[in-house]
Structure 1
Amino acid sequence: MIPTTIDLGKGQPSLGLLPTAALRTAGERFLAQHPASWLQYGDDRGEAPFLDALAGFLTRRYAVPVHASQLMTTAGNSQALDLCCALFTRPGDTILVEEPTYFLALDIFRDHGLRVVGVPIDDDGMQTDALHEAVARYRPALLYTIPSFQNPTGVTLSAARREQLLAICAAHDVLVIADEVYQLLDFGAPPPPSLATYASGARVLSLGSFSKICAPGLRLGWVHGAPELLERIMRSGLVQSGGGLNPFTSGVMHTLITLGLADGVLDELKTVFAERSRALCGALREQLPFARFVAPRGGYFVWVTQPGISANVLLPFAREAGVAFHAGPRFVHGDRFDDALRLSFAHYDSEQLREGVQRLARATLHYPDNPRA
C-alpha cells in the first residue's frame, strides 16, 4: 500500500523489519533460564554476561578483537552522547563536528551550552588539513564524528584519514567521540575498522547502538573505549543513581546474541537496505537526472543536491505532492547546504521509495523559477 505521505526524512526501519519473532524467542528463553537478579539494579558497567557476548559479537562483525573490559552498556546512543557532554565538557566549551552533521546531535550540544565549529568533509570524510587548523585555532574540548556512512551525507572516513584524525587529536589531547551506529551496516566491502580499535594513545570513545541494527525501541547501546575513560562515565551521578543502564533489555539482547539470532537480524537488514538503496538511487537517476548524489555503500541515507533549488523553499511543494524530507540547513549552523536534502531508504519498501521520488520530481517541477524547467 502506498502511504498518503511518504516521509523520506524518517531515519528508522519500517515496522516489518523489526525482529519481533527473534526478540520473542530470546525474551522467552531469557525469562525461563535466567534468575530474577536481572530485574534488579545492575552493575555500573553493565551486566558481565551481556558485555562478554557483545564483545564476541563485535569481534566477529568488526573482524578486530574487542574485549569486554573496553565496553560499557548504555541506554542508547543519544543518552551516551549526552553523558559524554555532561562529563567531558563545560558550558561555553568549543567542540568540532563534521559539516554537515547529525542535526539532533546539534540539539544535544546546544542543551549543554557548547560552541559548535564545523569542519568540512569530502568524499573521504573529514578533511584533516582543515581539522588540524581548527584544533590549533579553537582548542576544542572534543571532536564529534560519524566516521562510517555518515549522517547525513553517507560518506565514510578513509583509513588514512582515520589515522591522521586520531594523531591530530592525540597531539592536542582532544577527546574523540565517534558515533558509529552505522559501522556494521555496509552493503559490500566493510568500512575501515571502528575508531576505537585504531586508538593508540588517543582518547577515543566509540558509541554503538542496537537501534540501527536491531530495533530502536530497545534503547540499548554501548560505549567502546579505554577502561579509564569508561570509569569516568561509570562514576557519573546518572549511572550511580540508576544502578547501571538497561539491565533487563541487555539480558534479552545477551540471549539474542548467544542464540545466534542477532547476526541473522543484522544480515537481513543489510540485504534489505542494499535493495532499498538501489531502488532509491535508481529512481533518482530516472526522475531527477540533474540531481547530484553519491550512491551509498552502507547506512541509511542519500545526500542529494539540486543546484539552484532551495530545499526549504521546495519542502512545502513536496508536502503538497505527498512527500517529505529533511532540508540541508537542518544539518549545520546557518543557511549553508540550502540546495541539499537528506533522503532515507530505511523506512519504505522499494515500490514506496520509487513513488516518493516520483512525487519529489513532481514537486520540483512546480518550484518557482525552476532552472531545469
Structure 2
Amino acid sequence: MLDVTQTRIPQGVIDLGVGHPSLGLLPLEELRQAALHRLSQGNPAFLQYGAEPGDGYFRTELAGFLSRHYGFSLEPDTLFVTAGVSQALDLICTAFTRPGQVIFVEEPTYFLSLGIFRDHHLEVVALPTDADGLDITALEAALRQHQPALVYTIPTFQNPTGATLSQQRRKRLVELSQEYGFLIVADEVYQLLYYHQSPPLSLGSFAAAGTVLSLGSFSKILAPGLRLGWIQAAPRLLHTLTRNGMVASGGGLNPFASAIVRSALELGLQEQHLHKLRNTYRGRLETLLEALRQNGLRPRYTPEGGYFVWLELDPAADSQVLLEQAIQAGVRYQPGVRFSSQGNFAHALRLCFAYYDSAELKKGIQRLAAVLRSS
C-alpha cells in the first residue's frame, strides 16, 4: 500500500513520515537477473491473459516460499494473486460487503485503508488496541451491538503502533468469526519483516476455518513498483473473488510481474533480499530507538519488526499543529490523528525507520526532540 507524504516537503527535511524503502534498498540487480532468467526461457505464455486466480506456476512457487517462512504448509489453491494489498482490500470489499454494512477496524489503524472503506460506503466501527494488538474483550462487547461484515486487522508489527496480536488473541478472534459469521481481513505485509524473534503464526494459518483472508505483498519484501501481492484464504472464498467482473474480463492479475518474481523465487534472489532487509532494518530500528532514548523520548511500544514506531506525547499536545514547526526545523512525521477513524490520537505521531540510514535517523530525532522541547 502506498504510504507517502501528502504535501510537498522542502529540500533537506528528513521525512520520517514516509512508509516505504529507500532507493538503495530496491533490488535492481536482482530483478534484472530474474527478468533475464524468465525472458530467456523461450516460453511467452506469461505474456498472455492468465487464469483468474493468478499464474499457477507462480502460485506454486509462492506457496513453497511462504510455507518455508510462515512455518505451516500452504497449497497453491489457497492463493489468489493481486496487484498489491490495496487492490486486494478493494476486491474483498466489492465481493463481501454492501454499502451501509458495518466493519470493525483497529484504533489506530493504517490511515489509507480508511479511504478504501469510505469508497465502499461502509460504516466503520473502531476498536481499541494495546501492546498485544486488537482488544478482544472490546471486540466481544461490540459484537453484541453490531453485525460486522469484516474485521480489518494488521496483526503483526501493526501500522502505525508496531504492536503484535498475541497468539491467544488470534485464536479467539478466529473463534469469534466462526461464531458470529464475519470475515477477518488480516493485512500481514510485515509478517516476514521480523528482526529478533519470529512473531506468532500468520492468521493465514487459520485459513481452513473459512473466515480468514490473509493479505501479503512483495511491496515490503522486494519492491513496491512490482504491484504484486496475494490473498491467502480457503478456496471457496477465493472462488468468489474470481467471479469479480474486472477479474473475469482481464484474466489473472499482473502475470508479467508474477513471472519475473517467480524467477526471483526460483533463483533464491528473494530469499537473499529478505535476509538483507532484515539485517538493514534491524540496525535502523535499533538506531531510532536509541536516538529516542538519548533525547528523552519513549515510544508507546517497542516493535520487533515492521517499519514503524508510535510516539505518544503529553495528552495536551497536538502533533498536527506541531507539524509545520517540525518541517521548518527539518523533520517530518505522520500526525497520529490520521490513523484514527474517530479523530483521536492528536497527541501521537508515527515515525518510520525504513527509509533513512543511521546518521539521518539520529539527526531527524534530534530535530524532532528540539521541536518538542520548545513547544
Tell me, yes or no, whether TM beats 0.5.
yes
1:303 match? 310
Helix, strand or coil at the partner of 2:103: strand
Helix, strand or coil at the partner of 2:195: coil
2:22 match? 14
Are residues 366 and 57 of structure 1, via their aligned partners in 2, closer, same or farther at CA, if it must alter by over 3 Å?
A: same
Residue segments in structure 1 that go unaligned for 5+ positions in a row? 368-373
1:222-278 deviation digits (Å, cap 9, x = unpaired): 010000000000110111111110000000000000001111111111110110001
1:31 match? 39
Helix, strand or coil at the partner of 2:40: helix
2:6 match? none
Distance 1:140 1:220 in 2: 28
Distance 1:277 1:152 in 2: 14
The alpha-carbon deviation at position 202 of structure 1 amounts to 4.2
* Residue type at the aligned position of 1:301: F
Counterpart contact for 2:178–2:209, Cα < 8 Å: yes
Moved more, 59-68 or 333-342: 333-342
User: Which residue of the other structure, out of 201, 215, 223, is the alignment partner of 1:215?
Assistant: 223
The alpha-carbon deviation at position 335 of structure 1 amounts to 2.7
Counterpart contact for 2:210–2:237, Cα < 8 Å: no
* Residue type at the aligned position of 1:74: T
Distance 2:42 2:59 in 1: 16
1:168 match? 176
Helix, strand or coil at the partner of 2:247: helix
Distance 2:203 2:51 in 1: 26
2:248 match? 240
Helix, strand or coil at the partner of 2:73: coil
Aligned length: 364
User: Which residue of the other structure, out of 82, 91, 102, is the alignment partner of 1:94?
Assistant: 102
1:315 match? 323
The alpha-carbon deviation at position 292 of structure 1 amounts to 3.7
1:194 to 2:169 alignment: no
2:7 match? none
Counterpart contact for 1:291–1:306, Cα < 8 Å: no
Helix, strand or coil at the partner of 2:309: strand
Counterpart contact for 1:167–1:202, Cα < 8 Å: no
Counterpart contact for 2:208–2:233, Cα < 8 Å: no
Give identity over the alignment, percent.
50
Distance 1:152 1:352 in 2: 21
Distance 2:140 2:259 in 1: 43
Distance 2:299 2:85 in 1: 31
User: Which residue of the other structure, out of 150, 171, 187, is the alignment partner of 2:158?
Assistant: 150
1:370 match? none
1:266 match? 274
Q: TM-score, normalised by structure 2?
A: 0.95
1:133 to 2:179 alignment: no
Distance 2:266 2:213 in 1: 25
Q: Which runs of 4+ in 1 moved over 2 A?
A: 198-202, 290-295
Are residues 90 and 105 of structure 1, via their aligned partners in 2, closer, same or farther at CA, if it must alter by over 3 Å?
A: same
Q: TM-score, normalised by structure 1?
A: 0.96
1:285-339 deviation digits (Å, cap 9, x = unpaired): 112x144432210000000011132111211110110111111110012331111
Counterpart contact for 1:276–1:346, Cα < 8 Å: yes
* Residue type at the aligned position of 2:81: T
Distance 1:63 1:341 in 2: 34
1:343 match? 351
Counterpart contact for 1:311–1:339, Cα < 8 Å: yes
* Residue type at the aligned position of 1:216: P
Are residues 71 and 200 of structure 1, via their aligned partners in 2, closer, same or farther at CA, if it must alter by over 3 Å?
A: closer
Q: CA RMSD in A?
A: 1.1
Distance 1:313 1:332 in 2: 16
Distance 1:78 1:104 in 2: 9
Helix, strand or coil at the partner of 1:28: helix
1:57 to 2:65 alignment: yes
Helix, strand or coil at the partner of 1:138: coil
1:195-227 deviation digits (Å, cap 9, x = unpaired): 121245341100100001110000000010000
User: Which residue of the other structure, out of 46, 62, 67, is the alignment partner of 2:54?
Assistant: 46
1:103-127 deviation digits (Å, cap 9, x = unpaired): 0000110111111011111111111
User: Which residue of the other structure, out of 249, 252, 257, is the alignment partner of 2:265?
Assistant: 257
Helix, strand or coil at the partner of 1:11: coil
1:176-203 deviation digits (Å, cap 9, x = unpaired): 1000000110011111111121245341
